[in-house]
């Protein structure tokens, strides 16, 4: 199942979803880059994220039209995407966004402990609007890579690395 979802993302989602897509899935990549730094990347359908931000804040952004809305996206995700490394909350800072057809990759920088023993993640973003939303998570650190599939029924996970 996860392999099939990754195929959707590699194809850019365009072959999987039409203008009114019926697939509610996103990707989270959380990887240690050097020592106490990590990169968090989130790929979502732009229209879904527009709707979620509007639902949460009452503000409209044109993510499909090329707008990044870094502050609004960061504020929304900080409420719906929480990560802890070794029990300590991870804060993240907006770095960039890249528009791809109907989706957007958001990249954030994070400060983390140098050695990771455990990672806890809660990724319930978009689930308040889309009950079938699935968030596929890839975590890479300390020479280990793990993948998770989070859903409305199970939006949390804890990994030992």
Domain spans of the chain? 23-160
Question: Cα 102 from chain centroid?
Answer: 15
pLDDT of residue 161: 87
Average of per-residue pLDDT across 59-84: 97
Average of per-residue pLDDT across 99-110: 96
**pLDDT of 19 strictly over 90:** no
**pLDDT of 119 strictly over 80:** yes
Sheet of strand 144-151: strand arrangement: 92-100, 103-111, 37-45, 25-34, 134-141, 144-151
pLDDT tens per residue across span 63-74: 999 999 999 999
**pLDDT of 10 strictly over 60:** no
pLDDT of residue 15: 41
**pLDDT of 9 strictly over 60:** no
């Amino acid at each position: 199942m996860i392999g099939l979802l990754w195929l959707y993302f590699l194809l850019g989602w365009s072959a999987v979803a039409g203008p009114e897509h019926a697939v509610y899935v996103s990707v989270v990549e959380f990887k240690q880059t050097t020592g106490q730094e990590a990169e968090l990347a989130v790929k979502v359908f732009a229209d879904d994220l527009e709707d979620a931000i509007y639902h949460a804040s009452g503000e409209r952004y044109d993510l499909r039209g090329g707008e990044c809305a870094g502050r609004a996206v960061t504020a929304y995700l900080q409420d719906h995407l929480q990560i802890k490394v070794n029990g300590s909350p991870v804060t993240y800072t907006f770095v960039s966004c890249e528009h791809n057809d109907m989706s957007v990759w958001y990249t954030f920088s994070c400060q983390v402990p140098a050695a990771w023993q455990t990672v806890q993640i809660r990724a319930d973003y978009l689930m308040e609007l889309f009950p079938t939303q699935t968030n596929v998570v890839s975590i890479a650190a300390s020479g280990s890579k793990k993948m998770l599939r989070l859903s409305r029924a199970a939006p949390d996970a804890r990994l030992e690395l």
